[in-house]
């Protein structure tokens, strides 16, 4: 039996990584799936559910109904990067599967880029990792809760709180501090209590406005 590489988890080997993400198109398709659920979703410009087609030479999708442009990498470290997306994805894979960290020199060797580029990629991934770890920390002090309904199809039916087809997002915010957003199935008391217990430090003051109704 061959020995598995110590740098990769048994669940997702290097070979499997490149089978799933062989090129930039596969990476951009994955980002679209994660951020928008695919290429058919409600356009933020016209409000219609429509298919969004990718422009041939750009990382941009266009609404088939109104022509509005959507860049799935907007607001991320991948926006406007000249480095191939598959290189970014592989760098993230290395950070997730290598036990003792990844040096700039190692990224340079693995990605085939300059040391300057490798160092920048590594630093941005480390910064994101630090932010993700801080996101996992419990909120404390005075924490305010509120809910928002997003997405779904506008069909002229019920609107506002409880509108069908909407995703309920619970926002939790420390006064003058950190914030979190959690997708929840409903706004029942037991559901909200569970969100608070999972995300707020015991002894904190929680303001819920009209949520516990």
Q: What is the pLDDT along the chain (213 residues), one digit of tens a residue?
A: 334 434 444 467 899 999 999 999 999 999 999 888 899 999 999 999 999 999 998 999 999 999 999 999 998 999 989 999 999 999 999 998 887 789 999 999 999 999 999 999 999 999 888 776 666 678 888 988 888 877 655 445 444 455 556 788 888 888 877 788 888 888 888 998 998 998 898 888 988 765 544
Q: What's CA 149's distance to the chain center, in Å? A: 18
Give the number of residues written for the chain: 213
Find, among 24, 22, 50, the residue nearest to 38 by Cα: 50
Domain parsing of the chain, residue ranges: 14-135, 142-207
Q: What's CA 57's distance to the chain center, in Å? A: 24
């Amino acid at each position: 039996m061959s020995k598995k590489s110590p740098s990769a988890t048994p669940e997702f080997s290097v070979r499997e990584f490149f089978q799933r993400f062989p090129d930039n198109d596969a990476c951009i398709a994955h980002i679209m799936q994660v951020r928008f659920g695919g290429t058919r979703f409600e356009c933020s410009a016209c409000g219609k559910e429509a298919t969004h087609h990718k422009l041939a030479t750009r990382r941009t999708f266009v609404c088939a109904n109104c022509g509005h442009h959507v860049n799935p990498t907007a607001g991320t470290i991948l926006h406007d990067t000249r480095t191939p997306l598959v290189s970014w994805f592989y760098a993230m894979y290395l950070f997730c599967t290598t036990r003792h960290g990844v040096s700039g020199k190692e990224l340079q060797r693995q990605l085939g880029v300059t040391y300057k580029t490798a160092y920048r990629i590594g630093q941005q991934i480390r910064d994101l990792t630090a932010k993700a770890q801080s996101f996992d920390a419990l909120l404390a002090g005075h924490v305010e809760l509120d809910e928002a309904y997003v997405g779904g199809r506008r069909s002229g039916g019920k609107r506002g709180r409880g509108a069908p087809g909407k995703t309920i997002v619970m926002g939790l915010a420390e006064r003058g501090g950190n914030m979190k957003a959690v997708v929840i199935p409903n706004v029942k008391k037991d559901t909200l209590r569970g969100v608070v217990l999972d995300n707020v430090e015991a002894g904190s003051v929680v303001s819920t406005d009209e949520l516990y109704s």
